């Protein structure tokens, strides 16, 4: 609780936490939706926001508020799957590469370096075209994006471990006869986890952005599955702006912007809190 109170002193964390709480409430509300998000013409079409339909309805006869609750849930599902999977890959590879190395780790890091320099969007477009039916599922898309998300973070973790390896407490642990695995887990992992957590939040923003881009190009998940990307793609494809249905286009756009701001500020505030110098300047000593 003391940590949480300290973080709340930073307005960026307070705003980000509030926005994420609102979005999580919307995710929970999706379980109580009176409408099937895949079905069309369940409500009157093209209605502006009102008390009955808070965010209005679209040309396909869908209530945008309830569709948005499913869209946020599905987009966050993709982001969480990709981010956690990439952590599972990045943490062990980065730590082993930093402390010991080896041929296998060298090969894996070389694969990671290759994915870093590749034009990711072009590669994802090609893979999505080749594996069209496979990518249409939420879990599969999350796993695909995880493959392109772990490499940079593994390099960051490797750099952290390389620094930790030269610290005095590491030499003391080695001289005391501590096993390598126990040393890495007990001595180095606590320093790596904060970095892994902040990069996880950054990965969520990256994955959501890629999902929106792929959906706009018609290469993402099944278009009938509501995500922030498919909502935006449907509004643009059906010319919502030209038809005067501004609420249809504004709903996914505003949600995406707020989600990006919340995740960015959350990552930034946590990074500053974990940096002792920034913590003294922005939060203060207790």
User: What are the residues whose beta carbons fall under 8 Å from the beta carbon of 270, sequence distance 6 or more?
Assistant: 7, 13, 194, 197, 198, 201
CA distance 141 to 130: 13
**121-147: per-residue pLDDT in tens?**
888 888 888 888 888 898 999 999 998
Count of domains for the chain: 1
Q: Which of 100-114, 139-153, 268-282 has the lowest mean pLDDT?
A: 268-282
Find the domain containing 37 and state its range: 2-282
Three-state SS at 174: helix
Query: What digits encode the pLDDT tens for the residues 52-92?
Result: 999 999 999 999 999 999 999 999 999 999 999 998 988 88
Count of C-beta atoms within a 10 Å radius of residue 35: 15
- Residue 170 CB coordination number (10 Å): 18
Question: Which tens digits make up the pLDDT trace of 6-61?
Answer: 777 778 888 999 999 999 999 999 999 998 888 889 999 999 999 999 999 999 99
Q: What is the pTM of this model?
A: 0.87
- Mean pLDDT over 248-255 rounds to 94
Mean pLDDT estimate for the chain? 85
Please state the rounded mean pLDDT for residues 230-235.
Answer: 93
Higher pLDDT, 1 or 153: 153
Res 249: pLDDT: 93
pLDDT band, very low/low/confident/very high, at 286 (cuts 50, 70, 90): very low
* H helical segments located in 131-222: 132-135, 138-147, 150-165, 168-175, 180-183, 189-216
Domain of 129, CATH number, reads 1.10.3720.10
Q: Which two tokens stand for residue 284?
A: 């203060």
For 149-177, what is the mean pLDDT?
A: 82
Left (φ > 0), alpha (ψ -120 to 50) or beta: where does 43 sit?
A: beta
Predicted local confidence at residue 281, as pLDDT: 53
| 101 pLDDT more than 70 | no
Nearest-angstrom CA–CA distance, 278 and 13? 14
């Amino acid at each position: 609780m003391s940590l949480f109170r300290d973080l709340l002193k930073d307005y960026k964390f307070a705003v980000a936490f509030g926005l994420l709480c609102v979005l999580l409430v919307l995710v929970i509300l999706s379980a109580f939706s009176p409408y099937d998000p895949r079905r069309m013409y369940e409500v009157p079409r093209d209605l502006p926001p009102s008390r009955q339909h808070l965010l209005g309805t679209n040309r396909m006869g869908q209530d945008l508020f309830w569709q948005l609750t499913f869209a946020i849930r599905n987009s966050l599902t993709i982001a969480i799957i990709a981010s956690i999977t990439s952590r599972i890959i990045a943490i062990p590879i980065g730590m082993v590469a930093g402390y010991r190395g080896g041929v296998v780790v060298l090969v894996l890091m070389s694969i990671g370096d290759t994915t870093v320099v590749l034009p990711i969007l072009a590669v994802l477009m090609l893979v999505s075209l080749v594996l069209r039916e496979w990518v249409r599922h939420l879990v599969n898309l999350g796993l695909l994006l995880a493959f392109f998300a772990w490499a940079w973070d593994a390099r960051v973790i490797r750099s952290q471990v390389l620094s930790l390896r030269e610290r005095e407490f590491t030499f003391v642990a080695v001289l005391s006869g501590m096993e390598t695995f126990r040393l890495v887990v007990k001595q180095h992992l606590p320093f790596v986890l904060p970095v892994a957590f902040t990069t996880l939040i950054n990965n969520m923003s990256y994955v959501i952005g890629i999902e929106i881009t792929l959906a706009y190009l018609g290469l993402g998940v099944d278009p009938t599955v509501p995500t922030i990307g498919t909502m935006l793609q449907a509004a643009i494809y059906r010319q919502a702006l030209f038809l005067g249905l501004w609420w249809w286009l504004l709903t996914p756009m505003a949600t995406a912007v707020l989600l990006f701001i919340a995740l960015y500020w959350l990552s930034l505030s946590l990074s500053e809190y974990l940096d002792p110098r920034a913590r003294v300047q922005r939060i203060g000593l207790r």
